[in-house]
Amino acid sequence: MLVSVTKLNISNTGYERPAKLEKIFINTEKIISIVNYEKVKDFLLREGNDLSDNSFSLVKISSGKQSEEDLIVLGSPEQIVSSFRVESLPEKEVILG
């Protein structure tokens, strides 16, 4: 299932490292782990970025054979996982006739 998350993008321009948020979609079946990522707050504070007040998580995703990708995602692990939950749809009734 594809779900929407907000990823932190950090660019390195040489003199500065601007960070911005970007909405992306990930396949929940490819997620290996989600953990709190406090270290990014220190980085954002050093760079003078307003995003340092938010919580972030490190999401590890399988990218194929023995390959993994780490994403820095806005929100705590609990917030991210709860956003994956879908309300169950009402059961369908079969009408015979």
The domain containing residue 68 runs over which residues?
2-84
Judge whether 47 lies within some domain: yes
- For residue 15, how many C-alpha atoms fall within 13 Å in the half-sphere facing its CB? 0
Judge whether 70 lies within some domain: yes
Count structural domains, the chain.
1
Judge whether 10 lies within some domain: yes
Judge whether 95 lies within some domain: no
Question: What is the per-residue pLDDT across 14-65, written as a single tens digit (0 to 9) for each?
Answer: 788 889 999 999 999 999 999 999 999 999 998 888 998 999 999 999 988 8
Judge whether 89 lies within some domain: no
Question: What is the per-residue pLDDT across 61-83, written as a single tens digit (0 to 9) for each?
Answer: 998 888 899 999 999 999 999 98
Tell the burial category of 29 from Cβ atoms under 10 Å away from its Cβ (0-12, 13-18, 19+): exposed
Q: Are 7 and 24 in contact (CB under 8 A)?
A: yes
